[in-house]
Structure 1
Amino acid sequence: MRRPESLYKYTVEVSPNAWRQIAHLPLETYQRIREELDAVAARMRPETPAPVPQRYVRPVETRSLLLENHIALYEVDPSRRRLTLREIARRSTQGG
């Protein structure tokens, strides 16, 4: 029997483009990004527990995470209860 909270859990996926970018990162950086995305997914709850009619599509929203010297862009898809990591970029540091 499925636990009620498992019905609302969001999954985390990584786009092919983000995988290519991850290949150039230290493993620790990817692990931190993944941990943050998993934490965000664990806190996500659907807007309503009732099924959404198929003709109504909720928009996908783009969000970001700032971690040390990197920014991670991800999409939130409430219809599919999914977070998708889209891009990882190094943040520029501006000196004075």
Structure 2
Amino acid sequence: MRAMRRSRDLQPGTAYTVDIRPSAWSQLATLTTDDYALVRARLDTIAAELMATQPPSPSPSSQAPSADTRAFVVGGYAVLYAVDAERGWVTLLEITRRIPEEE
């Protein structure tokens, strides 16, 4: 499996970096190549959209940085990630298999 790359390497003009929490690596390893590609593409899109709406701050404030935790669904997986607008990071936190909904 390929390592996650910084979004600016994939999306020209994107100042956000897509990163991955070490604890999520084992979860990524269980994904198929297609599911991995879908998760990666979604995170890159999120980083590009954030750059358009919330460019990272040029100088960090003296306060502790705050990250906003968010989630999305891809296929049968729920993907939890954090956005730190001050640092310009989108961090993958966790990927879990979704429980199928009863009909």
TM over 0.5: yes
Residue 32 of structure 1 pairs with residue 44 of structure 2: no
Residue identity over aligned pairs, in percent, reads 34
Structure with max Cα Rg: 1
**Residue of structure 1 aligned with 2:15, choices 9, 13, 20:** 9
1:41 alignment partner AA: A
Does the 8 A contact of 1:13 with 1:83 survive in 2?
A: yes
TM-score, scaled relative to structure 2: 0.75
- Over the aligned positions, Cα root-mean-square deviation in angstroms equals 2.2
**Residue of structure 1 aligned with 2:87, choices 80, 89, 96:** 80
Matches within 5 A, 1:46-57: 47=54, 51-52=58-59, 54-57=61-64
From the superposition, tell whether residues 92 and 49 of structure 1 become closer, same or farther in structure 2 (CA, over 3 Å). closer
Runs of 4+ in 1 over 2 A off after TM superposition: 45-54
Q: What is the number of equivalent residue pairs in this alignment?
A: 91
2:42 alignment partner AA: E
Q: Which structure 1 residue ranges, 5 or more long, are not aligned?
A: none
Q: Which structure 2 residue ranges, 5 or more long, are not aligned?
A: 1-11
Q: Secondary structure at the match of 1:44?
A: helix
Aligned to 2:4: none
Aligned to 1:23: 29
TM-score, scaled relative to structure 1: 0.80
